[in-house]
Structure 1
Amino acid sequence: MSFVRHYPLNQITPADYNPRKITNDSFNQLKESLKRFGIVKPLILNERGVIIAGHQRLKAMKAIDMQESPAMVLSEVSLHDEIRFNLFHNSVETNVSIVFVNGLEDQDEGYHWVDPNRIHVVNNKNPSITYEICRVWGSVIVNDKGQVIANADYAVACKQLKEPLLVYKMNSNQIETLEKYLHSNYGSYHYDELKIPSYNQLHCQMHRLTARKKKNHSSTYEQYVLPILQRNHRLIDFGSGECAYIKKLVEQGYKAYGYEPYYRKKGSWIIDMKRVIKMIKAIEWSIEQKGLFDVVVLDGVLNSVVHLDFERWVMTACNSLLRKDGTFITGTRNLKSIKTNNKKKRLNRVRQIQFLDSNNFSGIFRDGIWTLQHFHDHTSLKRLCKRYFNQVEIFGAKSGANVYAVCKSPKLLPLNEYQEALNEEFNMVYPGGYRHNKHQRIVELIQKFAKERG
């Protein structure tokens, strides 16, 4: 890592993965801050000049005709770590920890490198973020008393790593005015620009009922599906992943059907299109012979949709598949548990820290691609289910890992909504824009029975 005081802006390239957007008002405020105080936080770049953190500042600098900027240049950083850094950097823009830097009293205003022994952590209030940023870098702003007033979490990380810290010292009489700008929202997470295709979500599929420990069991099935399932019931698992529970139920003699549009060939990430079409034909035959289903299961699918349209389509499809006296059961990740995780001192996995946008989507970069997770709490899940079912019961601890809904009495939705949703769900887009177009008959049948159901 190196610090360049005068890096030409015309040699800097924005990253195409940055998931944040800024409002016009916030952008104007950012430009005003730069005019008034200069660049008190350097840009962070990789060695090719691609910006890792500071996209909005770069735009603002160019907008007011600045030509150069201080920059921290990171060497030998993988794309995965760049994206990870970008997400964490934008999570530590707040200043919740209390940290002082000793020995700056005689230093002039501006940038200085500080030995980690001079960092005094009074209170580490953001431990999960601090723990995870210990492999990435940033800078802090301090007043003339040595108190860190911006990005204290970086100072904590440098103290723990025993690495030098880059600080920008400012006079205290300027700090009060600066803090007004520092506390403004200069961008929020917005994943639409990443245009994440739905088939990326196959990387989110759970490995159920493996030889490993009980944690691979589905709490949705174990607590809510299996206890009510009867031998005469016909069940469909919509978005069944590897179909582990469906295979088990069929072996036990139950009439169970799975539909997974991104069913993978064993041991690979290749989608098994023949198996997908075979699932559709089996469901089609079952509906033609026996009508709609007694039990519809949606396990972990709501937290794997890539946008709200998909959530609407999958819920509409589940509504359309359910008999009038049937039961719909869904389980999904609990938003409250995510907020609890972010306060923990230590987390087992990086992915446990989530970076939420305004619709409670969180982006994760893994296996070289972006995926999304979507979260609900008890209130939002009940509100969602009430759009599609007359009777809705919500279960699960308020801050537990998952929240569940058991619903009855499906509402009759407009036929054009059924047609749109079923066409999307049973004829998904695959890599290269491919669609199998084997969905027409099943869509007609489901619409027919849903209309007759009323």
Structure 2
Amino acid sequence: MKLLPINAINPSSYNPRVADPQRLNLIELSLRKLGFLLPLYADANGEILSGHQRHYVATRMGVEKVPVDFTKPLDLAERKAVNIAFNRGTNDLSPDDLPKTLTEALERSEVHELAEALPDLDIHSPDFYPCLTAEELPIQPLLSANTGRWVQYARNISKTLKGKGVVMPLVIDPDGKVINGIGRLQMLAESNAPTVKAVRISHAQAALADAMLNLLSMDFDIHNRYSDLLRYNSFRRSRRTRNELGRGFVFAVIGSKPSHTLDLSNPDHLKRWKAVHGSTVLDFGAGHLTETQILQQAGIDCNPFEPYHITKGEEIDKAASLEIVKSFLQGVRSGKRFSSIFISSVLNSVPFEGDRRHIVTLTAALADEKTRLFAVASSIQQTGWRNLNGAAPLNKSDASQITFMLDYEPGIGLGDISKLPKIQKYHTVPEFRELFLTQWQEVKVNIAVENVQAICRNPRPLDPVALKDAIAFEFDLPYPDGSSMGLVNKALEAYSTRLGVVL
């Protein structure tokens, strides 16, 4: 940690926090009364990862130097992910804490009355930088002083930051009670650390610091600042592999029975499946192509669409993805009729309602009066959503998750924040039904096996404007290298030829 000129570091252009004047004034109040209890954090090149608003407010206050701790070198994707982790890790939060609820709690904490009891600090004195005098303390007495206060989610965030080489100091009162950093203390204890760095403050300071460090939080604008990243990070992870058909491909045949109970190598099972789904189908959002290949091996003419296909690790293979999309467009152009269209475990990873509506529009345009569409996605009954809302984790895997709630639309959680932040959308039955009713006349929706599932019949009359908009979106999706799909014209031509219209 170093005390550096304030202009030695620079804000990042992608910080997802949105400041407002009222909360910036509270940051100034915090700095005037408490100083820098925690340092700013920047990458090796001086790009701020945590502390944008404090840096901004300190600049307008006339502060000349700021305490800075540097991370190891990080690429852009890592910096964005760490930025998100910092935005959760500097507060002792739960996964269901939102800026709105934190602000309401802050308003109830009477911070101005608490601040009046404290003198202003001289911004040019050492007292303005208490984090620079953090003590290395034995960990055991702190564990005893904080028994029963553990927050598993805060611990998980702290572990993520530690993986990037960042361990922020604790802020404690004279009795050793942690004011900020309970997750860091838990994480260090679990790693058998003998000591921990801590900034010790008075009881009078602790009351104000508790509110300022844990409740003062800016609005999270990730859905605008990181929109492209959330789109291309929607790809199906390599760990999400299966050896059988997913729920969307089987629920209409076997109901709530486990997917593996349907085996298409069994002639009777295959006959039952084909009686429901036919023999020429579309797998929209095919992921690893597992279902596509299972169906093709069973003699089903299965046509995949997947814009974000991975062939190794967790890196999108753009070339392979484009080949899949081009092959799909050839099928569209040919006029091939689909007896069934599947959207299986796809819509829960699509980050925005408008994007999901585009998918429904594109698939409905490929249907006729005999086609049926089968869709499955995560519902609000899933364990992941219950955990986000404060339910106790059911197992060790659940307890280790780092997912938190966002409020730009209902049922949204953000996970995988250590490297590849990904949205999870948890649906209700009414909103899933409404989504498909935009393009289908008959929609049946229910919940089974914690998923919401739909069967759609009779597509509505073609809406050329909506279809053209959907094509312009889906066939120009962004990629991590800054490029886009670039197949809009080819898609317009394919759909126009198939439908006999000019789009």
TM-score (normalizing by structure 2): 0.70
Shift of 1:177: 4.0
SS at match of 2:348: helix
Number of matched pairs: 424
Distance change (3 Å), C-alpha of 1:208 and 1:52? closer
- Pair 1:310-2:355 in alignment: yes
Query: Residue 185 of structure 1: SS of its match in structure 2?
Result: coil
1:328 counterpart = 2:376: no
Matches within 5 A, 1:134-149: 134=159, 135=162, 136-149=166-179
Give yes or no for the alignment of 1:372 onto 2:402.
no
Secondary structure, aligned partner of 1:362: strand
State yes or no: 1:70 paired with 2:67.
yes
- What CA distance in whole angstroms lies between the structure 1 residues aligned with 2:309 and 2:44? 40
**Distance in 1 separating the partners of 2:332 and 2:310:** 19
Q: Which amino acid aligns with 1:184?
A: L
Identity %: 17
**Separation (CA, whole Å) in 1 of partners of 2:297 and 2:436:** 31
Task: Name the amino acid aligned to 1:247.
Answer: Q
Do the aligned residues in 2 keep the contact of 1:128 with 1:345 (CA within 8 Å)? no
DSSP-derived class of the 2:28 partner: helix
Q: Structure 2 counterpart of 1:116, which letter? A: I
Answer whether contact 1:324 1:410 (CA < 8 A) is retained. Answer: yes
Tell me how far 1:392 sits from its aligned partner. 3.1
Distance 1:146 1:383, change over 3 A: farther
Matched, 1:337 2:383: yes
Which of 219, 234, 249 is the matching residue for 2:247?
219
Counterpart residue number, 2:344? 299
Runs of 4+ in 1 over 6 A off after TM superposition: 76-81, 264-268
**1:328 is paired with a residue of what secondary structure?**
strand
Q: Which residue of 1 aligns with 2:456?
A: 407
1:198/1:123 CA distance change after superposition, 3 Å: closer
TM (norm. structure 1) is 0.77
Structure 1 residue 339: Cα displacement: 4.0
Query: Residue 26 and residue 411 in structure 1: after superposition, are their counterparts in 2 closer, same or farther (change >3 A)?
Result: farther
> Could you tell me which residue of structure 2 aligns to residue 385 of structure 1?
436
**Pair 1:185 & 2:217 matched:** yes
* Equivalence map 1:40-119=2 (5 Å): 40-75=37-72, 85-95=82-92, 110=130, 111-113=133-135, 114-119=137-142
Distance 2:180 2:239 in 1: 42
- 2:476 and 2:484 in contact (8 A); partners too: no
Please provide the CA RMSD for this pair: 3.9
Any conservation in 2 of the 1:44–1:71 contact (CA below 8 Å)? yes
Query: How far apart are the structure 2 equivalents of 1:199 and 1:142?
Result: 40
- Name 1:442's counterpart in structure 2: 494
Cα distance change of structure 1 residues 240 and 131 upon mapping to structure 2, 3 Å threshold: closer
- Report the Cα offset of residue 353 of structure 1: 2.0
Unaligned runs of 5+ residues in structure 1 are 98-107, 450-454
In the alignment, the residues of structure 2 paired with residue 234 and residue 448 of structure 1 have an alpha-carbon distance, to the nearest angstrom, of: 21
Give the structure 1 partner of residue 266 of structure 2.
none
Q: In 2, are the aligned partners of 1:92 and 1:129 still within 8 Å (CA)?
A: yes
Tell me the distance in 1 between the aligned counterparts of 2:42 and 2:186: 22
1:225 CA drift (Å): 6.5
In structure 2, give the amino acid aligned to 1:373.
I
| 3-state secondary structure, aligned to 1:62 | helix
- In the TM superposition, what is the alpha-carbon distance from 1:386 to its structure 2 partner? 4.2
1:11 CA drift (Å): 0.8
Show the counterpart of 1:164: 195
Q: 1:129 to 1:198 in 2, by over 3 A?
A: closer
Q: 2:283 aligns with which of 237, 242, 247?
A: 237
- Name the CA shift for 1:84/1:349 in 2 (closer, same or farther; >3 Å): farther
- Structure 2 residue aligned with 1:395: 447
How far is the alpha carbon of 1:311 from its aligned partner? Answer: 1.9
Q: How far did residue 90 of structure 1 move?
A: 2.7
Match of residue 101 from structure 1: none
1:281: Cα distance to partner? 1.2
Q: Is the Cα contact below 8 Å between 1:56 and 1:187 reproduced in 2? A: no
